[in-house]
Chains A and B, each alone.
Chain A
Amino acid sequence: MSNLIKYNEAFISSFQITEDQLANLTYQSVQGWDSVGHMALIAALEESFDIMMDTDDIVDFSSYEKGKAILKKYNVTI
């Protein structure tokens, strides 16, 4: 499974959304991406990519696109 598929799947399963909603997705732009959903997303990403994210990065993870840049710090290229 490619990193992009794993990345997308984390959003889709955490927020109960469809793939076509991903492109401009930002924090709180869908009902599922609230504070609880955010931590579910982070846990899903950590499990998928076998990483442990710093608190600052968890806070900064504010959009689908921003997340890609943050994951690069952990040697995960989407």
Chain B
Amino acid sequence: MLTFNSTNFRIWSKLGQRGSFFGIAVFEVVEQFHNVMILTADLAYLSGLERFINKHPDKFLNIGIAEQNMLGISSGLAQEGKIVFATTYASFICMRSCEQLRHYLGYMKSNVKIVGTGAGLAMTFSGNTHYAIEDLAIVRAIPNITILSPADATEAVKVALAAAEFNGPVYIRLTGGLNNPIVYKEDYNFEIGKAITITTEGDITIFATGTMVHNSLEAAKILKEKGMQARVVNIHTIKPIDTDSIDYANECSKLLVSIEEHSTIGGLGGTIAEFLSSQPNHTPLLRLGIADQFRHAGDYNYLLEQNRLLPEQIAQDIEKKYVTLNNREPGTLC
């Protein structure tokens, strides 16, 4: 039985989201659900599955560099009653096998959980071919697939358990590398589809997902020093998104902000914008994320800086937008 305490949170943070998912959480998943299978497209050891393979060789298949085939086999196993986790880099699983994803998971609703690792900019020097900066936009457009995006390594563990229990196809988007910054220092309740408001006071609401939850909390600290208060909401479920959380923020905030390690088109910001567009007189939304262009490769911090996703830059951009807004009266939900 896994223990959710600060010592383990520190170890899991060291392992990153991928390492804690495949090096820690999957053992708990197998203990609770005996019909689990894990498939990979040639990334067994790079995904941190070494320990799992040694302990459960009968529950593991390495399909080779054949992502489309992996989803076909995964779907077949799922139709025979298995709970299947299929993993490779996020860019490959969402794009190389997009048609299989659409047909086997979206259309057939096979009980397959695809786990995209190295999402966003985490693949650093591997370059743009390995960056997954459009994956949310692609998968979100396919019906019937739930999308989960954990904020830190602890939440990645919770996501693994929740996904195994959930009956239906899921895309799990893992961001960041080793030494994944810790967002949650104490245990908390995780529920698919329910956003978590981490800081509650302020007339700015920041919706963040993945690694950007930590950077948003840091940005909120900088804003506070300048006299501005921001609520930070962890949107760990991109689809179905928690519309109650957006409704509340829309009523009670002067400025809404979305932050993601993903293109500003079609991801978290796009989802919120689509929802707000159906609301009368909605609050302005500032969408921060990866610009609509391909940039040069580099190390992780360099890439975040290029896309203005470091905490200081996030705070600057929010401040710039905030001061241009006229006072807006709060609504009735506040």
A-to-B contact residues, CB < 8 Å:
31, 34-36, 39-40, 42-43, 46-47, 55, 58
Contact = CB atoms under 8 A, between A and B. Distances in A.
B-side interface size class: 10 to 19
Dominant secondary structure at the A interface: helix
A35 B10 contact: no
9 contacts: A34-B51, A35-B48, A35-B50, A35-B51, A39-B14, A40-B14, A43-B14, A47-B7, A47-B10
Contacts, number: 35
B54 A36 contact: no
A36 B51 contact: yes
Interface of B: 7, 10-11, 14-15, 19, 23-24, 45, 48, 50-51, 54, 178-179
Contacts of A55: 178-179
B48 A36 contact: yes
A46 B14 CA distance: 11
A34 B23 CA distance: 10
Given A43-B7, A47-B7, A55-B179, A31 B14 contact: no
Contacts of A34: 50-51
B60 to A, nearest CB: 15
Contacts of A42: 14
A46 B9 CA distance: 13
A46 B7 CA distance: 11
Contacts of B48: 35-36
Nearest to B23: A36
